[in-house]
Structure 1
Amino acid sequence: MSCDGRGASLNVLGLSWGPKANLLLVRDVSFSLGAGHRLAIVGPNGAGKTSLLRCLYRGTAPIEGRVEIDGEDIRKLSARAAARRVAVVLQEMPADFPFTVLDVVMMGRIPRRQGLTGWTDEDRAQVAHCLQHLDLASMASRQFTTLSGGEKQRVLVARALAQEPDIVILDEPTNHLDIRHQLEILHLLAGLKLTIVTTLHDINLASTFATHVALMRDGRMVGFGLPDDVLTPHAISTTFGVTALAHPVKGNAAARFSFSLKTA
């Protein structure tokens, strides 16, 4: 049993989406992400980050363009087949889940069920492995509603991993978490072999966590590539309307700079 999976390539080709054809919130976005890589999407509020994510996991159908997983159009997959390839952790955290931690994580096995059969030994073993992997085994019988914000986030990540996906998509996984839990969640995700796509508000977290960064503004992708290539003081200042100052970081292989921001 494994929570790691193998990852999958993700290709986005000329993607546009909006509630109306003349009101696009995502405009002609294209990029390619290799299997096992981690993409952080950053940009100001209203940049189109969450709208882009919804297209990536089939939450909404693009007006133009397509999303490919290992070269296959995700819209041509059945809902069950897509759920076996892509797992999602949304920003909106359920407040009144009348279930135990074990129940919530077991829900991740639904795309793997055959018809109306009950849980199999394989399902139970996979869920037990994911609980152990995220240090949740001792909480399995606790009610989800009694957990802290960081614990709930770990449970939802465990549920996503129980699907055995190739790609995990997360919308602001560090939102509402304290600094320690932010670092714990990102460290956990960075240790997986899966392809990860996430939105992040914190520029410094994005630069150290991601193998690739996408910078968005007004629905367009204005930068894509390695963190040090995309997250420059000029690009950050222009995109966010702030003054960004870069500070060298020694001994950090993930990013050479950290940034301090102040109003322009």
Structure 2
Amino acid sequence: MSCDTQGVGIQVSDLGWGPDAARFLIRDVSFALKAGDRLAIIGPNGAGKTTLLRCLYRNLMPREGQVHIEGEDIWQMQARRVAQKVGVVLQEMPADFPFNVRDVVMMGRIPWRTGLSGWTAEDRDQVDHALEHLRLADMGKRQFSTLSGGEKQRVLVARALAQQPQIIILDEPTNHLDIRHQLEILDLLGRLKLTIITTLHDINLATDFATHVGLMNAGSLTAFGDPKSVLTEKLLSRTFGVTANHRADDHGRLSGFTFSLAAS
């Protein structure tokens, strides 16, 4: 799959990873994003979405291909430099950090610390900015364990934002959240003006949020492009093994998808 590399913030080229050379969980994955793009990765369970993300934030070293940020291979960069450029919010939410909200967000400044030095004025300013941006300024002293699921998710996004990254990678950020908090977290992410790469289960949320969509199936990126061109009845039906129908509102405008089991 060809990529336009002009002005690329992140470029993924022929990426492949598996537990051994005989078994790949993802293979031949290629795409490119410019600064400020928002990519939603969609696919059935076991398609390789989380494995792909782990390769993008330098958790798994590819067996094939490369990941470049601003033209530099992330495996030729120090891990600390990658952490300064890429913030990560994982699906596995910690149940009980023994810290308050401000302490959790301050952890995002660790990649910028030098030796055993204490927190700087810059660190505190970036944490203040992240707390304010995620609407958490009045919750800084609350214990993380006392927060709701939506509040905890906002804190973890704030921690990633405090890293001052150019890219934020999220694995199912709306998982286990009610509809209101799903919409809220995606609205807040959309306001960050950073390059965002996230996996999402909800097709309709992805339609509204993403500038680009990648469909994954059986370890391959089967389609990549703007939501209108990728999120079609034909491609979604084939990817998920269902019948996808694009519904229309009262004025005949397409407004989302409904799904039913494919006829056997």
TM-score (norm 1): 0.94
Change (3 A) 1:88 1:8: farther
The residue type equivalent to 2:261 in the other structure is T
Change (3 A) 1:45 1:66: same
Counterpart Cα distance in 1 of 2:236 and 2:171:
20
Change (3 A) 1:104 1:208: same
1:20-74 per-residue CA deviation (whole Å, 9 max, x = no partner) reads 1111100110011111000000000000000000000001000000000111111
Counterpart Cα distance in 2 of 1:52 and 1:199:
10
- Tell me which residue corresponds to 2:198: 198
Relative contact order, higher structure (CA 8 A, sep 6+): 1
- Tell me which residue corresponds to 1:220: 220
Q: Secondary structure at the match of 2:19?
A: coil
Tell me by how many angstroms 1:248 deviates.
3.6
- Tell me which residue corresponds to 1:119: 119
Query: Does the alignment pair 1:96 with 2:93?
Result: no
- Tell me which residue corresponds to 1:3: none
Tell me by how many angstroms 1:96 deviates.
1.7
**5+ unaligned residues in a row in structure 2: which ranges?**
1-6
- Tell me which residue corresponds to 2:32: 32
1:37–1:195 Cα contact (<8 Å) kept: yes
- Tell me which residue corresponds to 1:4: none
Change (3 A) 1:164 1:230: same
1:8–1:36 Cα contact (<8 Å) kept: no
**5+ unaligned residues in a row in structure 1: which ranges?**
1-6
Q: Please say which of residues 8-17 and 63-72 is displaced more in the overlay.
A: 8-17
Q: Secondary structure at the match of 1:50?
A: helix
2:8–2:32 Cα contact (<8 Å) kept: no
Q: Please say which of residues 124-133 and 162-171 is displaced more in the overlay.
A: 124-133
- Tell me which residue corresponds to 1:69: 69
Tell me by how many angstroms 1:169 deviates.
0.1
1:192-227 per-residue CA deviation (whole Å, 9 max, x = no partner) reads 110000000011111110000000000000000000
Tell me by how many angstroms 1:137 deviates.
1.1
Counterpart Cα distance in 2 of 1:256 and 1:111:
45
- Tell me which residue corresponds to 1:139: 139
- Tell me which residue corresponds to 1:9: 9
1:104-136 per-residue CA deviation (whole Å, 9 max, x = no partner) reads 000000001111100011111110111111111
Counterpart Cα distance in 2 of 1:46 and 1:22:
18
1:8–1:195 Cα contact (<8 Å) kept: no
1:228–1:257 Cα contact (<8 Å) kept: no
- Tell me which residue corresponds to 1:236: 236
Query: Does the alignment pair 1:159 with 2:165?
Result: no
- Tell me which residue corresponds to 1:86: 86
Q: Secondary structure at the match of 1:129?
A: helix
Counterpart Cα distance in 2 of 1:11 and 1:219:
18
- Tell me which residue corresponds to 1:263: 261
TM-score (norm 2): 0.94
1:86–1:168 Cα contact (<8 Å) kept: yes
Tell me by how many angstroms 1:8 deviates.
6.7
1:105–1:155 Cα contact (<8 Å) kept: yes
CA RMSD, Structure 1 to Structure 2 (Å)? 1.5
Counterpart Cα distance in 1 of 2:114 and 2:214:
38
1:180-199 to 2 correspondence within 5 Å? 180-199=180-199
Q: Secondary structure at the match of 2:196?
A: strand
Q: Secondary structure at the match of 2:215?
A: strand
Tell me by how many angstroms 1:249 deviates.
5.8
Counterpart Cα distance in 1 of 2:145 and 2:8:
33
Q: Percent identity?
A: 66
